RNA sequence: GCUGGCGUAGCUCAGUAGGUAGAGCAUCUGAUUUGUAAUCAGACGGUCGGGGGUUCGAUUCCCUCCGCCAGCUCCA
């Protein structure tokens, strides 16, 4: 028997017989490693622990501490789920069953929908199969033979025809279950210790909404019961900070059925927070060389034909309305209006870049099933700006925009975000407007900007806007979903469509280039994400009520009001709780409403001109002279610092 | 828009195997005047999402529309 050389991660080498399995090598290193092993990395690729090594290779044993091992483990759990479904519901068609960030899913096609009770049965069956300790066995099959074997399984057949090499791998689980699958998998079902099926929902075959409708069973799996329980607990906790729940509880916003879905009502307390956000943003605009403009909410249809939205954006627009002899369109975007301001006079190269900014409210038709609280609505206000500049200025402008976007995120304490660079499809589909050279140039400028600011942007092919490529910044909500906030978009197209010009130093007319950018993205969405980010406990500068003054008894009301007056003179938002309740109750109310500071006033305070300071997070801070308390809270508000 | 689920008081929820509903909180009133997360009592409050059908009778069963939730698709 020939020997092969196995190189371990520490550089050491082992001679083993050809055909040795990674699990055997692991055991030869230590029994514990073999027990903890989930999957092997062989020459960089993932391998089953039980797959024989035929040639010399590098080998790394991945244990439960490795994220890739968790993916494999979840993938194996998905197979277990499919095997359970087939045992309980023979004839069900299998789609795909990959691991995801938070678990796994498996797509099935079957006439009757899976009910919550079915889910319980499936989970019980999974445990039953788990207990059988079935190996995940890798079998190689020849393509034509495979197509015959899977002739009853139309989705698998499709996948094999499309993806399989001449010989492809399958994995069995017991005598009856076999699945076309690249693998790898854990060695056997007894390795799967903790999982839970979470829901059943709809999906489309190959994510195509014209394709077959499937039922998706989603679950999660962890290496231990403890980790699973922690995860489930964390999900429950996250739900408590859902912006829809907090928005109602804190009386910030509402959505009114009578007015229509996806349309936001800002209540007084939400309104004051929004004003703080908007004031801050407008100040930043002015500091950074933007001008503020205001434009109408509707415009003639011809405007949208000129801009191209009539062609490229028709599906997302509210219906046109007729007025006199003309048709008008509610605006889904602000850009054409800002362009008209640019175009209203002859521009010199000396005044470029022109940066026109607006908190512009737009209306877009979003399909009913996609609406989601504040995060996906039909009417929203963008902190939108359009920058018109010379080609040689565009890269600096994009760098400034991106820097601005990063500054917004840090101001509000977001340290986790993802950047994406969306590019076109190369022009194949015709959904994109403009010349190839322009697209290439634009993409290059965006890439360079990312590099200059050290922003790691993931390239997303075929995700660009119809008028140009873009950089997007995404944040994650309480339930782990990603939402786009900032966007910096390049545009060669609209300047051409509108015939924009500036007079250059050569005395001739040239076409400016344009950058669209929104940093909050939409005020509604940003507010929703912010609400979840702070779990409703806003920092002092944003809190709708910054201070609650809590008199102990009625005889302290006058003093309480004088305290409130002093706070108001300092520009703070104050409420006096004059209910006939005990202080304990007043404190509770203020805590529940997440008021940052409570000032308790009773006999001692009224006598000494002091207040007893209570901090929302840290509780009783003892008494302080009134001036001192006012200065403290005002300082926090003005600094726009995070709370505490 | 699609698949599935859901819709009972302002909020959170219970209930009716078909005989027009109940709790806690909130609100209002009264008593209590209280020192760092809920004082007590009483009252008010619902065409049980809208419309249609079956039935002697529908909040309950059926149909339909609207809205919400999860996922898909799409996107700020």
Identify which of A32, A58, A82, A56 has the alpha carbon closest to the alpha carbon of residue A185. A82
**Statement: residue A147 has pLDDT above 90:** no
Measure, in angstroms, how far nucleotide B7 C1' is from residue A556 CA: 47
Task: For residue A485, give the nucleotide whose C1' atom is nearest its CA.
Answer: B76
Q: What is the pLDDT of residue A416?
A: 83
**Interface ipTM:** 0.94
**Statement: residue A1 has pLDDT above 70:** no
Q: Which residue is nearest to nucleotide B39 (CA to C1')?
A: A582
Q: Do the beta carbons of residue A601 and residue A578 sit within 8 Å?
A: no
Q: What value does the mean pLDDT take over residues A58-63?
A: 89
Percent of chain A exceeding pLDDT 90 equals 59
Q: Between these two residues, A157 and A639, which has the higher pLDDT value?
A: A639
Q: What is the pLDDT of residue A129?
A: 92
Q: Is A335 a catalytic residue?
A: yes
What is the C-alpha to C-alpha distance for residues A590 and A548, in angstroms, rounded to an integer?
7
Residue range A286-332, pLDDT digits in tens = 999 999 999 999 999 999 999 989 988 888 999 999 988 899 999 99
Q: Is A515 a catalytic residue?
A: no
Q: Is A382 a catalytic residue?
A: yes
Q: What value does the mean pLDDT take over residues A219-238?
A: 89
Q: What is the pLDDT of residue A637?
A: 95
Looking at strand B, which nucleotides approach a protein CB closer than 7 A?
1-5, 11-12, 31-39, 66-76
Q: Is A384 a catalytic residue?
A: yes
Q: Is A386 a catalytic residue?
A: yes
pLDDT band at A221 (very low <50, low <70, confident <90, very high): very high
Q: Do the beta carbons of residue A304 and residue A363 sit within 8 Å?
A: no
Task: For residue A215, give the nucleotide whose C1' atom is nearest its CA.
Answer: B3
Could you give the domains of chain A? 3-63 (3.10.20.30), 70-230 (3.30.980.10), 254-295+334-533 (3.30.930.10), 547-639 (3.40.50.800)
Percent of chain A exceeding pLDDT 70 equals 100
Q: What value does the mean pLDDT take over residues A197-217?
A: 85
Residue range A448-477, pLDDT digits in tens = 989 998 888 888 888 888 778 899 999 888
Measure, in angstroms, how far nucleotide B50 C1' is from residue A125 CA: 43
List A130, A215, A382, A546, catalytic entry = A382
What is the C-alpha to C-alpha distance for residues A492 and A313, in angstroms, rounded to an integer?
17
Q: Which residue is nearest to nucleotide B72 (CA to C1')?
A: A203
Identify which of A198, A158, A165 has the alpha carbon closest to the alpha carbon of residue A78. A198
Q: What is the pLDDT of residue A641?
A: 83
List A79, A138, A386, A586, catalytic entry = A386
Measure, in angstroms, how far nucleotide B53 C1' is from residue A558 CA: 64
Q: Is A229 a catalytic residue?
A: no
List A516, A533, A616, A634, catalytic entry = A516
What pTM does this model have?
0.91
Q: Is A450 a catalytic residue?
A: no
**Statement: residue A413 has pLDDT above 80:** yes
What is the C-alpha to C-alpha distance for residues A239 and A426, in angstroms, rounded to an integer?
41
Q: Between these two residues, A163 and A522, which has the higher pLDDT value?
A: A522
**How would DSSP label each residue in A146-195?**
HHHHTTT-HHHHHHHHHH--SEEEEEEETTTEEEE------SBGGG--EE
Measure, in angstroms, how far nucleotide B58 C1' is from residue A241 CA: 39
């Amino acid at each position: 028997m020939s020997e092969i050389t196995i190189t371990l991660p520490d550089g050491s080498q082992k001679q083993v017989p050809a055909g040795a399995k990674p699990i055997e090598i692991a055991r030869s290193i230590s029994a514990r490693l073999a027990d903890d092993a989930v999957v092997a990395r062989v020459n960089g690729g993932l391998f089953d622990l039980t797959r024989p090594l035929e040639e010399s290779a590098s080998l790394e044993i991945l244990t439960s501490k490795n994220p890739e091992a968790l993916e494999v483990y979840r993938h194996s759990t998905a197979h277990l789920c499919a095997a359970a479904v087939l045992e309980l519901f023979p004839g069900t068609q299998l789609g795909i069953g990959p691991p995801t960030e938070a678990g796994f899913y498996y797509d099935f096609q079957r006439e009757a929908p899976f009910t919550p009770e079915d889910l319980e049965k499936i989970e019980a069956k999974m445990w039953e199969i788990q207990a059988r300790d079935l190996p995940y066995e890798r079998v190689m099959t020849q393509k034509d033979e495979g197509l015959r074997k899977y002739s009853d399984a139309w989705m698998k057949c499709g996948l094999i025809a499309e993806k399989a090499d001449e010989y492809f791998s399958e994995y069995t689980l017991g005598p009856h279950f076999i699945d076309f699958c690249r693998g790898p998998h854990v060695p056997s079902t007894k390795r799967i210790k903790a999982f839970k099926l979470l829901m059943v929902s709809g999906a489309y075959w190959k994510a195509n909404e014209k394709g077959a409708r499937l039922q998706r069973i989603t679950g999660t799996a962890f290496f231990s019961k403890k980790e699973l329980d922690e995860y489930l607990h964390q999900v429950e906790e996250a739900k408590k900070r859902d912006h829809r729940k907090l928005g109602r509880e804190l009386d910030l916003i509402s959505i009114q059925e009578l007015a229509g879905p996806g349309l936001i009502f800002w209540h007084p307390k939400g309104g004051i927070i929004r004003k703080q956000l908007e004031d801050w943003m407008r100040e930043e605009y002015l500091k950074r060389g933007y001008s503020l403009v205001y434009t109408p909410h509707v415009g003639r249809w011809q405007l949208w034909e000129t801009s191209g939205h009539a062609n490229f954006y028709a599906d997302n627009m509210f219906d046109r309305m007729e007025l006199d002899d003309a048709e008008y369109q509610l605006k889904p975007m602000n850009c054409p209006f800002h362009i008209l301001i640019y175009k209203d006079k002859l521009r010199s190269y000396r005044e470029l870049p022109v940066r026109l900014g607006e908190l512009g409210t737009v209306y877009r038709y979003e399909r009913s099933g996609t609406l989601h609280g504040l995060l996906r609505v039909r009417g929203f206000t963008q902190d939108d700006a359009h920058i018109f500049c010379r080609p040689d200025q565009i890269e600096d402008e994009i760098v400034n925009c991106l820097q601005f976007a990063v500054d917004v995120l840090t101001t509000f304490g977001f340290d986790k975000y993802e950047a994406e660079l969306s590019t076109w499809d190369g022009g194949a589909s015709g959904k994109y407007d403009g010349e190839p050279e322009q697209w290439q140039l634009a993409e290059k400028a965006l890439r360079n900007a990312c590099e200059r600011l050290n922003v790691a942007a993931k390239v997303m092919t075929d995700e660009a806007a119809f008028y140009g490529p873009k950089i997007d910044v995404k944040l994650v909500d309480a339930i782990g979903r990603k939402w786009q906030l900032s966007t910096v978009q390049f545009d060669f197209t609209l300047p051409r469509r509108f015939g924009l010009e500036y007079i250059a130093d050569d005395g001739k007319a040239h076409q400016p280039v344009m950058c669209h950018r929104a940093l909050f993205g939409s005020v509604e969405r940003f507010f929703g994400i912010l609400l979840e980010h702070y779990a409703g406990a806003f920092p002092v500068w944003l809190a709708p009520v910054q201070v609650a003054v809590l008199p102990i008894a009625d005889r302290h009301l006058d003093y309480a009001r004088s305290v409130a007056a002093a706070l108001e003179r300092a520009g703070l938002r104050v409420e006096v709780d004059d209910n006939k309740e005990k202080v304990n109750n007043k404190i509770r109310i203020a805590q529940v409403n997440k008021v940052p500071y409570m000032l308790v006033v009773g006999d001692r305070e009224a006598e000494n001109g002091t207040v007893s300071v209570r901090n929302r997070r840290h509780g009783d801070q003892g008494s302080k002279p009134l001036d001192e308390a006012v200065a403290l809270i005002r300082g926090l508000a003005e600094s726009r610092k995070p709370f505490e």
